[in-house]
Structure formats: C-alpha cells, structure tokens
Amino acid sequence: MSDIDILISEVGPRDGLQSVKAIMPTEAKKAWINAEAAAGVREIEVASFVPPKLLPQMADAAEIVAHAKTIPGLDVVALVPNFKGAENAIRAGADKIGLPLSCSETHSQANLKKTHDQVIEDVRKISELLATLPADQRPGFEGSLSTAFGCTLEGEVPESQVIDLAVRLVEAGVDELSLSDTTGYANPTQLRHLIRLLRAEVGADKLDGVHLHNTRGLGLANVVAALEEGITTVDSSLGGLGGCPFAPGASGNIVTEDLVFMLDAMGLRTGIDLDKLLKVREIVIAALPDEDMYGFTPDAGLPKGYTAGGWGIG
C-alpha cells in the first residue's frame, strides 16, 4: 500500500448490518459496496458466514462475497465464527477471513457459545484447511482479539490474558491479529500499552489492525494513539452503524466519514475521496430508512475552503 498511509477497513456491510433488525436487500448491499469501493475504500468486510437462522441479515453472504470479488482492487473480508463458516467463506472466494476470539471467556460463551480452547481448536482446523489450498487461492486469516479492553459481562480483562490468547492464536496459525474494543472501554493509554506489549510478544508484523468503538466518545482519540504506535489499518463503519448485539450498552462503531475526515485533514493518505464517501450514505439511508446514521462531519459539513490532503499547516 505504497500510495496510501492508512488502510481503512469498512465493516458496515457486516458489523453494521448484522446489528440492525431490518434486512438490507441484496441489491442495496451490492450498491453500497460498489459505491464505497468507487469512493476509494480498499478493504470491506462484506459479510458474516453464520447460519441464516441466527443472522438472517447475512443469508446472502456468498452472493455478496462473489459480487464484491468482481470489483477490481477491493480486498473482500468475511467474518467466520467457526470451521463451517470458514469453509463457506473460502468457497465463496473471500480474500481474507476473520475469526473473533473474545478475550473474555464469558463473552466468548455468549457470543460464539464456545470456550477459549474450543475457539483455538477451530482456528487450528481452519489453518490446516487453508494449508491444503494452493497459495493463489488461499485467503488471509486474521484472528481478532475481541473484548480486549474490558467486557460488559466480566469487567476488566487482564492484559496477560489478551497476550496469552494472542500467542495461542498465532501458534494455531493465524496470519495476523486485530485488536478489538468490542465494548467501547478502551482509552488511549491502555491502547498504546497493549499494542506495545502484544507486539513485543508476537512481533510487530503480526499486529497491524485495530477495531475501535465510539461508545464513550473516545473512538478517534484511540485511533490517534494507535497510529502513533504504528498501527496502519483501522476498522470503521459508514454512519457508525453497528456494534455488538451481545454486549449490552455497547454500540457505535467509529464513523468512517469522521475517520476519513480526520486522517485526510492530518495529511494522511487513505485513497478515499471524502465527497464521494459522504454521498454513499444516501444508499444506506434509502435502504434502511428506520436506522439512525451517525457522523459529526456529515452533519457539520467540511470546513469552509477545505481541500483534500491536509488542513491548516502552513
């Protein structure tokens, strides 16, 4: 990614849509993904491979992945909760599969109905499956450390537990890790500290992405802290759609529009055209008329005279 500084990974079509009750029509999902890719978004988490009876919002996951794969230059990510989901995501052709491991075991049981040992065993089996594929057909495999900054069920989650699970995920075969503030508990100091500890333990190349929430308003402050630690991939959701339905009170992904405005104003290249991105909201609003779309920058507008690529220095 030599022509961009920060990779924004849009998670709205997965994380956002699985959190809302309404089912977005397949064609609207495709239009959303098309429009975001056309605005310059390079990576989109487009679907979750879970049983449709659990998440009917994701029943068209295979079709969505297949469609997204037709967009040149787009990295297509799918969430998988288990081995079966991974098989389906691989078959659909995802470029990357992500499996969440909740650092809080209570949350793991609530979210995936599995203990840590069971999730790690799934990861091992998925890695073995991936190893059987030809290199050019093998998706990347990311393990996401969710509830890494605290849990709405357990409270504080010890750093040592997060590190232990990170090591186990790497040993079980994931290519990379992502650090996830599922509950919106993280603060900049804690985030910096945990990134440093994790990288010291598993290697900086294994931890490149963060998934942060704005539940307590600290989302972008945490992004700034993460960037200063060298993180270069940041998840966000258009209109802030989504959150974790199994973590009561936790809602509000980082708003992609606000994130792109901040990074662009800071002179960091994302490859995303902010004006085009802001127009993508219309697709989501039309398809989900009963959902709130968040975002400070969309409400306030861009600064007077704003031009892309930095603001106010000089």
Among 86, 157, 210, 231, binds a second copy (CB under 8 A): 157
219-238 positions binding a second copy, by CB under 8 A: 220-221, 223-225
Q: Is 134 in the site for a second copy (CB under 8 A)?
A: no
Please identify, using beta-carbon distances, which residue of 73 and 301 lies nearer to a second copy. Answer: 301
Minimum distance from CB of 258 to a second copy (Å)? 4
Tell me which of 165, 194, 195, 244 is the catalytic residue. 244
Pick from 152, 157, 156: nearest CA to 116: 157
Q: Is 149 in the site for a second copy (CB under 8 A)?
A: yes
Coil, strand or helix at 41: coil
Can you read off the two tokens belonging to residue 32? Answer: 């959303």
Among 214, 236, 237, 270, binds a second copy (CB under 8 A): 214
Please identify, using beta-carbon distances, which residue of 23 and 266 lies nearer to a second copy. Answer: 266
Minimum distance from CB of 163 to a second copy (Å)? 12
Q: Is 265 in the site for a second copy (CB under 8 A)?
A: yes
Dist CA 81 CA 86 (whole Å): 8
Minimum distance from CB of 300 to a second copy (Å)? 5
Among 127, 178, 256, 297, binds a second copy (CB under 8 A): 297
Dist CA 118 CA 251 (whole Å): 27
CB atoms within 10 A of CB 266: 14
Dist CA 168 CA 117 (whole Å): 10
Please identify, using beta-carbon distances, which residue of 27 and 156 lies nearer to a second copy. Answer: 156
Are the CB atoms for 207 and 177 separated by under 8 Å? Answer: yes
Please identify, using beta-carbon distances, which residue of 172 and 226 lies nearer to a second copy. Answer: 226
Dist CA 104 CA 156 (whole Å): 9
Among 72, 134, 217, 289, binds a second copy (CB under 8 A): 217
Contact window for a second copy (CB under 8 A) among 17-25, 82-90, 271-279, 295-303: 295-303
Dihedral sign computed on CA atoms, order 163, 138, 89, 6: positive
* Residue 151 annotated as catalytic: no
DSSP secondary structure string for all residues of 178-226: EEE-TTS---HHHHHHHHHHHHHHH-GGGEEEEE-B-TTS-HHHHHHHH
Can you read off the two tokens belonging to residue 54? Answer: 């659990």
Can you read off the two tokens belonging to residue 2? Answer: 């030599």
Q: Is 289 in the site for a second copy (CB under 8 A)?
A: no
Q: Is 267 in the site for a second copy (CB under 8 A)?
A: yes
Contacts of 219 (CB under 8 A, 6+ apart): 184, 212, 213, 252, 253, 254, 255
Q: Is 183 in the site for a second copy (CB under 8 A)?
A: yes
Minimum distance from CB of 217 to a second copy (Å)? 3
- Sequence length of the chain is 314
Please identify, using beta-carbon distances, which residue of 125 and 216 lies nearer to a second copy. Answer: 216
Count of helix runs (H) and strand runs (E) in the chain: 11, 8
Among 193, 201, 246, 271, binds a second copy (CB under 8 A): 193
Q: Give the interface with a second copy as residue ranges (CB under 8 A).
A: 149-159, 183-190, 193-194, 214-218, 220-221, 223-225, 249-252, 255, 258, 261-262, 265-267, 295-297, 300-301, 303-306, 310-314
Active site members: 244
